[in-house]
Amino acid sequence: MARQRLVIVGNGMAGLRFLEEILEHARGHFDITVVGAEPVAAYNRVLLSAVLAGEAATADVLLRPVQWYAEHKIELITGQVAEVLDSRARLVGLQNGRTIPFDILVLATGSDPMTLAVPGCSLKGVATFRNLNDITTFERFAGARRPAVVIGGGLLGIEAACGLARRGVAVTLVHLADRLMERQLDAEGAALLAAAITAKGVRVLLGANTRAIAGGSEVEAVELADGRVLACGLVMMAIGIRPRAALAASGGLGTRRGIVVDDRMETSLKGVFAIGECAEHRGTCYGLVEPCYEHAKVAAAAIAGEGISYRGSVLATNLKVSGVPVFSAGDFEGTGEAIIVRDNGVPSFRKLLTRDGRLTGAVLVGDVADAPWYWQLIRSRQLVTAFRDALAFGPAFAEAA
């Protein structure tokens, strides 16, 4: 029986995880071709800020060497954008004119960075921070020692700002909201984080709306809506991402914000799947790594004929933001009873929200050792009434209680 032709468009973290999963579930069942738009094989985007800061080399962030693909008889095509999806002929067309036939197609096309449509947004010196190529731009700029402005106080913006600061660049972080990482942190946790990155040399401006970017042929300043002018030679925008769904739409697949998928991660066209940041499941697109890995696992199992389903992800953030450990999960700002513990000496902050005898949300900044336990309590919806008074002190105290 002839092996099926399996094509994966996208060689990012989700695409590579899918490859690893399909090799585990159905090794030897497919002729596999992977198409990546970037000139290098899959790498860990989470570590880009470490490369920017000079704390890691490009080689350190590569997830699998090129030889790994060859050893598993996977054809790896890099530096090529898939521009055409012919659903009827079941072909993918590349920018170099090559067409690749498929029996099964997995779209892991990722996302594009969003930019502010303000006057001056196309000036030389306005950039985004999404790939290894951006590092080269920032390294060249850092050597000039001109000030920089980073627009966006989410994870990526904070990491970029701190990375530039570690390179000796004077950086101002401009954020529209009243606190950093407003989707992951409550006000007090965010304030602790802001103090920590200020101590690292980043000037933080909150509630600041960018009105325009000034300059002749290149960036000279950022003008804020309140009249303040921030002199700079680089503007880095980190205001969010947009699922990359144009290829799917060109092939007639169902798209809304992202590529619409069912609980098997299958699109509106049989045998075509979408995973990662480009996929939209039950109205939600996910921009975090863990949901993307869940997508990869479900899609690989579905293609291998196994019957697992994806029901959506309960979002959790567990990472170091420029050296500051941060964890958040669940609904930490809804109704319920809040348990708050502060330790200004460390410093650390812990907020737990309970409702109807269950832990519904948690925010930890500084000390996140107990994060896995809280995460399990939130996901399992276990009753915590018996040890509620010890909940803030971790599992050892809870067991004693």
Average pLDDT over residues 347-361: 93
Q: What is the CA radius of gyration of the chain?
A: 23
Q: What is the mean pLDDT of residues 95-99?
A: 97
Write out pLDDT tens, residues 282-323.
999 998 898 999 999 999 999 999 878 999 987 788 777 777
- 324 or 80, greater pLDDT: 80
Mean pLDDT of 389-400: 87
pLDDT at residue 343, as a whole number:
83
311 inside domain:
no
Of 109 and 322, more confident: 109
Q: What is the pLDDT of residues 66-77, one digit of tens each?
A: 999 999 999 999
Please give the share of the chain, as a percent, with pLDDT higher than 90: 72
Q: Which pLDDT does position 142 carry in this prediction?
A: 73
Q: What pLDDT was estimated at residue 1?
A: 52
For residues 356 and 390, state if they share a domain: yes
Higher pLDDT, 324 or 210: 210
Q: What is the mean pLDDT of the chain?
A: 92
80 belongs to a structural domain: yes
Give the range of the structural domain holding residue 30, as residue numbers without chain letter: 4-112+241-303
Q: pLDDT tens digits, residue range 18-53? A: 999 999 999 889 999 999 999 999 999 988 888 888
The pTM of this model reads 0.90
pLDDT at 298: 97
The reply to whether 308 falls in a domain is no
Kindly give, in sequence order, each residue whose CB lies less than 8 Å from that of residue 362, ignoring residues fewer than 6 positions away: 327, 328, 329, 330, 332, 350, 351, 352, 353, 371, 374, 375, 378
Domain check: are 198 and 253 in the same one? no
Residues 221 and 361 reside in one and the same domain = no
Q: Minimal CA–CA distance to 113: which of 93, 94, 134?
A: 134
Does one domain contain both 102 and 9? yes
Residue 120 in any domain: the answer is: no
Q: Is the pLDDT of residue 163 over 80?
A: yes
Residue after which a domain boundary falls, among 216, 237, 258: 237
* Distance from C-alpha of 198 to C-alpha of 195, rounded to nearest angstrom: 5
Mark whether 250 and 227 lie in a shared domain.
Answer: no
For 51, 217, 314, 356, the CA distances from 366, given in Å and listed in that order, are 23, 43, 22, 28
Asked, for residue 102, whether it belongs to a domain, the answer is yes
Same-domain pairing of 190 and 144: yes
